Structure 1
Amino acid sequence: MQPVPLSPRLTSKIFVTKKLTFLLLLSSLGWIPSVAAQDELLEREEKALQAAVEKASPSVVQLELVGGLESQEIGPISGLAVSSDGYILTSSTMVRDSLTSILATTPSGKRAAAKIIAHDYSRNLTLLKVNTDESYPILPFVPREEITVGQWAIALGKTFSRNISNQSVGIISASNRIWGKAIQTDAKISPANYGGPLIDIHGRVFGVLTPLTPNPQGGQSDGTEWYDSGIGFAVPLADLEPHLEKLKEGENLHPGRIGVS
């Protein structure tokens, strides 16, 4: 006597029941995180992100620019303190030699005058020096070999408030873009955030946010071509650190020169 074939509906029910039983077994053995465990993991990630922002924010500087060709206030942008005595790295997108005034926030929240020291035309960055006796907190940078695709990435800026950092969370989506000069992130970046840091979940600096497009004059692109594109770029601080002393001495860095990439 031939066995009676099961109906498709009954077969489906049996399959689902077996699947649920199997998943419950795995869960009981601890192989599948429970809902509570998943919630706990998300909460821990959230707290880690908050702690990273809290750690990094004091090193993020708000910069107010006045002057340029139109002799008007350009508006605040962001910068990153790279030495305790007031050297600040920022994007060259809006920082022009024709500026009549640059004001930077100090660690106490006050404003102090800053001046342009040098440009890195290869990486679209500018080094400023703030005239203050206050000491800036300095963040460690992520070594190049530790930067990998998929890491949490947090973009910081101080555009809207001198004391509170605006932030955007994403991941590292590429670690070697623009001829090896940049890290790529999918964190939401606006032109007003350029000059701020891209940090990891421990509050260490991946790099300085800036649009990287061919711009031989330096400081003449507003970076809006990348806004809302879904990608942003940061120059790795690990790559720039060996050149900081040259910049501090007032030496501009140009692409194509020996020792400068």
Structure 2
Amino acid sequence: MNWRVILAICVAVAVFEPLGDTRPAQAQAERVTPVVEAVRRVGPAVVHISTEQLRDDLRFSPNPIIDRYYREFFERHGPNQPEARALGSGVIIDKAGYILTNEHVIMRTGPIKVTLSDARTYTAKVIGSEPARDLAILKIDGDKPFPTAPLGDSSDLLIGETVIAIGSPFGLSNTVTTGVVSATGRTIRSDADRVYLDFIQTDASINPGNSGGPLLNINGDVIGINTAIYGDAQGIGFAIPANSAKAIVEDLIQFGQVNYGWFGVRVQPLNPS
């Protein structure tokens, strides 16, 4: 009888011990969701941008949504401060060190400092900008290729699909938030009557400092550049579609500006006379 008991115990240990070894590994694997994988893939290519803007020269984006929160942010430094620190984000789109960000992050600034996720810091130079699209290209130089996150395809976005925002809200580098595509094709009109077309609307949390950072889909593709929030509302943010950015990136890198076609036609309103 005693031998039978001992044998039963040995069999039980042999059966259940392997399960004890594999369950933690299985649980760990279950935690590695598509969001985690996307962040691991793209995170190293997201940068923190810090600059200083002279208050005398400070101008705000023609986008009233951007204008409101940036004005409030800078005014906290007080009227006697000659400079105001601007914070933003960017994404490295080429291993040579080309960074895509928002134009309003780097407009009329002094030296621009770029910090990578591994804490390496570089001084960046502005290669080109396009205020009408609120996009700019920066360049940093290093002794080896940089991690990249090339722009993806934003033409087939699904309303309700999961999206991921990575950036530096309020200077908190490498912050990750998630949400969904709330709408596409949004049009925003500025106080200066400048119109921004085809924005992506998302409820992923976007705050000052997120501007210029990437908006990803669940596959880790860069589908947008986070740009603005809607006043004091909760969960209403906007991103420039990746395809809109791709249309001008090459011009910004090569020429420093966007070269639009010229039709040689002047438009004027008609009247009865």
Q: What is residue 261 of structure 2 aligned with on the other side?
A: 258
Partners in 2 of 1:107 and 1:95 — Cα distance? 20
Partners in 2 of 1:91 and 1:180 — Cα distance? 15
Q: TM-score, normalised by structure 1?
A: 0.68
The structural deviation recorded for 1:75 is 4.2
The answer to whether the 8 A contact 2:163-2:179 is kept is yes
The structural deviation recorded for 1:66 is 2.0
Change (3 A) 1:145 1:76: closer
Q: How many residues are paired up?
A: 201
2:140 to 117, 130, 133: 130
The answer to whether the 8 A contact 1:68-1:96 is kept is no
1:171 to 166, 180, 192: 180
Q: Does residue 190 in structure 1 map to residue 207 in structure 2?
A: yes
Secondary structure of 2:33's counterpart equals: helix
The structural deviation recorded for 1:45 is 8.5
Q: What is residue 110 of structure 2 aligned with on the other side?
A: 100
The Cα RMSD (Å) is 2.7
1:83 to 90, 94, 101: 94
Which amino acid is the alignment partner of residue 151 of structure 1? E
Secondary structure of 1:143's counterpart equals: coil
- In structure 2, the gaps of 5 or more residues are 1-28, 57-81, 188-195, 263-273
The answer to whether the 8 A contact 1:123-1:181 is kept is no
Q: TM-score, normalised by structure 2?
A: 0.65
Query: How much identity, in percent, do the aligned residues show?
Result: 28
2:240 to 225, 235, 242: 235
The structural deviation recorded for 1:171 is 0.4
Partners in 1 of 2:48 and 2:225 — Cα distance? 14
Which amino acid is the alignment partner of residue 195 of structure 1? G
Q: What is residue 27 of structure 1 aligned with on the other side?
A: none
Partners in 2 of 1:46 and 1:148 — Cα distance? 23
Deviation string, structure 1 residues 47-92 (Cα, Å, up to 9, x no partner): 2111111211101001111232365351432111111111111122
The structural deviation recorded for 1:230 is 2.2
The structural deviation recorded for 1:132 is 2.5
The answer to whether the 8 A contact 2:87-2:208 is kept is no
- In structure 1, the gaps of 5 or more residues are 1-42, 212-222
Q: What is residue 65 of structure 1 aligned with on the other side?
A: 51
